[in-house]
Structure 1
Amino acid sequence: MNIHVEARNVVKRFGPTTALNGAKIEIAEGETHALVGRNGAGKSTLVSILTGLQRPDEGEVRFSGQAAPALADRDAWRQRVACVYQKSTIIPALTVAENLFLNRQSDGHARINWRKLRARAREVLDTYEVDVDAQALAGDLSVEQRQLVEIARALSFGARFIILDEPTARLDGPAIERLFTRMRSLREQGVTMMYISHHLDEVYEICQSVTVFRDARHVTTRRVADLPHDELVAAMTGEATAAYEAREHTPGERVVLRGAGLSLTGRYTDIDISVKEGEVVGLAGSASSGKVGLAETLVGLRKPDTGTVEVNGTRVRPGDVPAAIRAGLGFVPEDRHHEGFVPLLSVGENATFPIARKLGRYGLVSPARRRATAERMIAALDIKTEGPDQPVGDLSGGNAQKVVFARALVDDPTVLVVINPTAGVDVKAKQALLGAVEDAVERGAGAVVVSDELDDLRICDRVLVMFHGRVVKDVPRGWTDHELVAVMEGMEE
């Protein structure tokens, strides 16, 4: 067996964070090899190293037994490896031919011979059986067609190793089958592929071998045919260690949040969701499951194609965040840096945004009332700050996230929607933030928790698991990591 791609003992650090810790992978020539792991396992960092975008702090990468090129030699990297990312790199305003030969249109000559360029493009498309017009605008292509053009472009450089990063995330069933047919054809032509997906059923359908990363380390590499489903899930999850002691909740009868018949093209389809007072409902799934898009629809950040949202019995106009907040909703967004706070403004200003109208008369905010409210929230959430006047941008990540929570909770909402609430914070801050959600629930609020972290979901009374834009299971409290991940990855039997 000839090894086409090898990474040995790779270490990569970003400040205090170790993204890869002695990681390794070996991919045989002409095979399709899966790389799987939970979020944060180190997959994306390995991809950046295998494609020459990052230099490892320790370890090495080899192609067909030879050391990887210098990072500055981009042509040499393109001749060895290419990555087709979930987010397309095709330029919509250019034709297919122009995208295929971007930055090499002239073929070494001073002027571009457009007839020859189109002929070269047609030859590449025919070679790799891509049924697309070379003169068509790339922006008019389907997602499936753009992916195939990207694969053809990569192969046209001479690369015989292709990384496919979540290639089915935006494809429907028939398109996925066509992609797999094309991948099998490429493998027969000797192309080596690394396949990254959260959908483990696809690993068993298209791959010959699989490598599992967990917590920045290599866990195992096995032949797919010899690896039972439950062992693969166990390798990904490891030993479950609950970071937070969840409280029992007793939901009431009143529904405080309801979504009915919600659909949004490319995100999710035909979703019904209801949350009662005193209840915590989780949303789980892979990055392409639609869970974040659904949560953002519930709070008004996204406008659905169909369906309605009600907060406390009031139907909220689609895509209207202020209306949702007025109806009694509090919201912690996915990206605190861009959506959660204004870094140059103070802790007090950020924490009291939603109730500024209540802190004074005639459109003026009373500084004393704002300070008093901010101090109350600082104490309630144990925010480590010099005081209400300190800029949020000066706080640590965990304390900045607590300010985002303060903003969500300052008006005592009856519905709380939080997305990845503990991302990038330490264990102590995680406990405080999850405790804040449960405190709100004990006061009678209903909550929706969307998270990639299994420990965040332990506070939920039930977890709705989404897969390819649909809710596939309602999992009650008491699940194990293995059970929940199996459903999230489409591996439940």
Structure 2
Amino acid sequence: MSDVLLSLRGVAKSYGATRALRGVDLELRAGEVLALVGENGAGKSTLVKMLTGVVPMEEGAIQLQGVPQRFTSAQDSQAAGILAVHQETVMFEELSVAENIFVGRHLMRGPFVNWAAMNAQAQTGLTDIGARFTATTLVKDLSLAERHLVEIARALSQKALVVILDEPTAALSQAEIRDFYGIVRKLRDQGVGVIFITHKFDEIFALADRYLVLRDGAAVGTGAIADATEQELVRLMAGRAIDQIYPQIDSVPGEVVLSVKNLSHPTEFKDLQFDLRRGEILGFYGLIGSGRSEAMLAIMGLNPQATGDFRVMGHKLDAKRPGDAIAAGIAYVPEERQRQGGILSFSVQDNISLAGLSRFATGPWLSAIKESGLCQRMIERLRIKTQSPHTPLSGLSGGNQQKVVIAKWLGLDPKIVILDEPTKGIDVGAKQAVYQLIAEMVKEGLAVILISSELPEVMHLAHRVIVMRRGLQVAEFAKGNLHAENIVAAASGLNATPSDAVLEALAA
């Protein structure tokens, strides 16, 4: 008997004139993790929607355990044994974990819900995957990582044959990611077929057994992860060899534009001190929870309990609110672009102009000509791919959404730009575009603070790297002295730097 669990042959899907999938073949075996890899717009989301019954298949064939399938609804897909865990979980927050696990299929005793049996079965499932909360906990009291565990427990309770993990680690801490790795391996050991979608190459090589690369809706490469390299996957994804993802940073740091002294918070960070120079990229690296983002929010006037001395171009900054920092020439691009950086239902133009509407005022009215002019300049400068300035932000790829968020702040002509995880959740091609934009920003004389959890990012881009751990500034490294082992050791609190420990920390 074949061990092929899920088989796709020649599946295709179009949206009008756009060919989203072009005759894709896929095989997933029982007890296997298959990495589904591709840039934004490659067809990954369409393939997942087809497998989960959200969109119909136009051509081709799907077989599950050798049985032909044609899903016309999400219920059909779930009943067949296919479940998806998405980056953004959709759950009933006011209900318990057990109720969410058994939603739509409550265990009954006659005409009544059998709460004891349902809670007991849910608790057994949670214990099996190592959850540290109970079945009676309300979902609203869970972290994002814990909500992912509920989704997985629900999949296992339904005896899922195939589990699709769609960017599941994008918002998790390092410790939560390590725990999640264990869950994926447990699913594999139980014979579940796992389709794993991620932009992070370290996760692909840590978890996957095989890979399938999509480009422009077509499958362009597949094979064993053990026989693959990162450069090969990048070449397949982009359709070209990318020998140098990171641009050359030609700027030479000049005078101090931002001086931070004695920056402290009662619970989040203590005694941070650093200078930022014109034309410099200052990297901040540390595990999630180290206090990096919280410190930058304090500079922006968004962390009211923080204290410290800030000076911009030698002038004291008393940032009681964001407007004070913005007026001093500081811009902040937040980590969560869709929830904090932009408004998805607003157009590209509206998002770009949002941070400085007063610039377009003519008396009590906004000048549409001025607003449109700025928007067009930013679209051209940042090479934003959009059908029109009036296209909703939600209609753009993740990389272009990020460019719009950055454009909103560059339109204010800032002196200092704080970038918090600027390439989170975007593909390698979009990352390259953002890196090039950062290089252009410092070449023009802007000063950049780059907060990133991706070690290669800060090592290749930053002139200096400050490492934080548990709210403390524990180390600083200059460009010529950037070594992965030393940076990871400082961030993790390792006393020594044996290669195995460093590789484990990097993979985490």
Q: Which TM-score bucket, shorter chain as reference?
A: 0.5 to 0.7
CA–CA separation in structure 1 for the residues paired with 2:207 and 2:439: 41
How far is the alpha carbon of 1:401 from its aligned partner? 11
Aligned partner of residue 35 in structure 1, secondary structure: strand
How far is the alpha carbon of 1:326 from its aligned partner? 0.8
Alignment of structure 1 residues 45-64 onto 2, 5 Å: 45-64=46-65
How far is the alpha carbon of 1:355 from its aligned partner? 4.0
Question: Judging changes above 3 Å, is the alpha-carbon distance between structure 1 residues 298 and 29 closer, same or farther for their aligned structure 2 residues?
Answer: same
How far is the alpha carbon of 1:27 from its aligned partner? 0.9
Q: Does 1:156 align with 2:150?
A: no
CA–CA separation in structure 1 for the residues paired with 2:171 and 2:408: 34
Q: TM-score, with normalisation over the residues of structure 2? A: 0.64
CA–CA separation in structure 2 for the residues paired with 1:246 and 1:51: 43
Identity %: 29
How far is the alpha carbon of 1:213 from its aligned partner? 3.2
Question: Judging changes above 3 Å, is the alpha-carbon distance between structure 1 residues 249 and 345 closer, same or farther for their aligned structure 2 residues?
Answer: closer
Kindly report the root-mean-square deviation, in angstroms, between the aligned alpha carbons of the 2 structures: 6.0
Deviates more, 1:163-172 or 1:185-194: 163-172
Q: Does 1:166 align with 2:162?
A: no
Task: Verify the 8 A CA contact 1:258 1:311 in the aligned structure 2.
Answer: no
CA–CA separation in structure 2 for the residues paired with 1:149 and 1:310: 47
CA–CA separation in structure 1 for the residues paired with 2:151 and 2:140: 13
Deviates more, 1:134-143 or 1:234-243: 234-243
The corresponding residue for 1:240 is 242
How far is the alpha carbon of 1:182 from its aligned partner? 3.9
Residue type of the alignment partner of 2:357: F
Q: Does 1:327 align with 2:320?
A: no
Question: Judging changes above 3 Å, is the alpha-carbon distance between structure 1 residues 403 and 40 closer, same or farther for their aligned structure 2 residues?
Answer: closer
Task: Verify the 8 A CA contact 2:101 2:150 in the aligned structure 1.
Answer: yes
Task: Verify the 8 A CA contact 1:353 1:407 in the aligned structure 2.
Answer: no
Q: Does 1:98 align with 2:102?
A: no
CA–CA separation in structure 1 for the residues paired with 2:68 and 2:325: 56
Question: Judging changes above 3 Å, is the alpha-carbon distance between structure 1 residues 242 and 381 closer, same or farther for their aligned structure 2 residues?
Answer: farther
Aligned partner of residue 97 in structure 1, secondary structure: helix
Residue-by-residue CA offset, 1:391-411 (whole Å, 9 max, x unaligned): 974899999999988864565
The corresponding residue for 2:119 is 118
Residue type of the alignment partner of 1:53: V
Task: Verify the 8 A CA contact 1:314 1:327 in the aligned structure 2.
Answer: no
Runs (5+) with no aligned partner, structure 2: 381-387, 453-457, 481-503
Deviates more, 1:81-90 or 1:297-306: 297-306
Question: Judging changes above 3 Å, is the alpha-carbon distance between structure 1 residues 42 and 341 closer, same or farther for their aligned structure 2 residues?
Answer: closer
The corresponding residue for 1:227 is 228
Residue-by-residue CA offset, 1:372-414 (whole Å, 9 max, x unaligned): 966985896698xxxxxxx974899999999988864565432
CA–CA separation in structure 2 for the residues paired with 1:78 and 1:272: 57
How far is the alpha carbon of 1:14 from its aligned partner? 4.5
Task: Verify the 8 A CA contact 1:78 1:154 in the aligned structure 2.
Answer: no
Question: Judging changes above 3 Å, is the alpha-carbon distance between structure 1 residues 126 and 214 closer, same or farther for their aligned structure 2 residues?
Answer: same
CA–CA separation in structure 2 for the residues paired with 1:47 and 1:216: 13
Task: Verify the 8 A CA contact 1:7 1:62 in the aligned structure 2.
Answer: yes
CA–CA separation in structure 2 for the residues paired with 1:26 and 1:49: 15
The corresponding residue for 2:255 is 253
How far is the alpha carbon of 1:261 from its aligned partner? 7.2
CA–CA separation in structure 2 for the residues paired with 1:94 and 1:319: 39
Runs (5+) with no aligned partner, structure 1: 384-390, 452-456, 478-488
Task: Verify the 8 A CA contact 2:92 2:100 in the aligned structure 1.
Answer: yes
Deviates more, 1:148-157 or 1:35-44: 35-44
CA–CA separation in structure 2 for the residues paired with 1:218 and 1:140: 41
Q: Does 1:353 align with 2:354?
A: no
The corresponding residue for 1:276 is 277
Question: Judging changes above 3 Å, is the alpha-carbon distance between structure 1 residues 199 and 26 closer, same or farther for their aligned structure 2 residues?
Answer: same
Task: Verify the 8 A CA contact 1:260 1:272 in the aligned structure 2.
Answer: yes
Aligned partner of residue 240 in structure 1, secondary structure: coil
Residue type of the alignment partner of 2:27: E
How far is the alpha carbon of 1:191 from its aligned partner? 1.7
The corresponding residue for 2:415 is 414
Residue type of the alignment partner of 1:85: H
Residue type of the alignment partner of 1:255: V
The corresponding residue for 1:486 is none
Residue-by-residue CA offset, 1:288-308 (whole Å, 9 max, x unaligned): 999x96898488496499787
Residue type of the alignment partner of 2:255: E
Question: Judging changes above 3 Å, is the alpha-carbon distance between structure 1 residues 183 and 243 closer, same or farther for their aligned structure 2 residues?
Answer: closer
Residue-by-residue CA offset, 1:460-482 (whole Å, 9 max, x unaligned): 786989999999999979xxxxx
The corresponding residue for 2:85 is 84
Residue-by-residue CA offset, 1:474-493 (whole Å, 9 max, x unaligned): 9979xxxxxxxxxxx9979x
CA–CA separation in structure 1 for the residues paired with 2:9 and 2:28: 12
How far is the alpha carbon of 1:327 from its aligned partner? 0.5
Task: Verify the 8 A CA contact 1:252 1:276 in the aligned structure 2.
Answer: yes
Residue type of the alignment partner of 1:77: Q
CA–CA separation in structure 2 for the residues paired with 1:128 and 1:248: 49
Task: Verify the 8 A CA contact 1:261 1:306 in the aligned structure 2.
Answer: yes
The corresponding residue for 1:69 is 70
The corresponding residue for 2:207 is 206
CA–CA separation in structure 1 for the residues paired with 2:402 and 2:47: 29
Task: Verify the 8 A CA contact 1:32 1:187 in the aligned structure 2.
Answer: yes
Task: Verify the 8 A CA contact 1:259 1:298 in the aligned structure 2.
Answer: no
Matched residue count: 459
Question: Judging changes above 3 Å, is the alpha-carbon distance between structure 1 residues 272 and 148 closer, same or farther for their aligned structure 2 residues?
Answer: farther
Residue-by-residue CA offset, 1:235-259 (whole Å, 9 max, x unaligned): 4454239999999544422334869
How far is the alpha carbon of 1:173 from its aligned partner? 5.0
Task: Verify the 8 A CA contact 2:248 2:439 in the aligned structure 1.
Answer: no
CA–CA separation in structure 1 for the residues paired with 2:170 and 2:401: 32
Deviates more, 1:249-258 or 1:95-104: 249-258
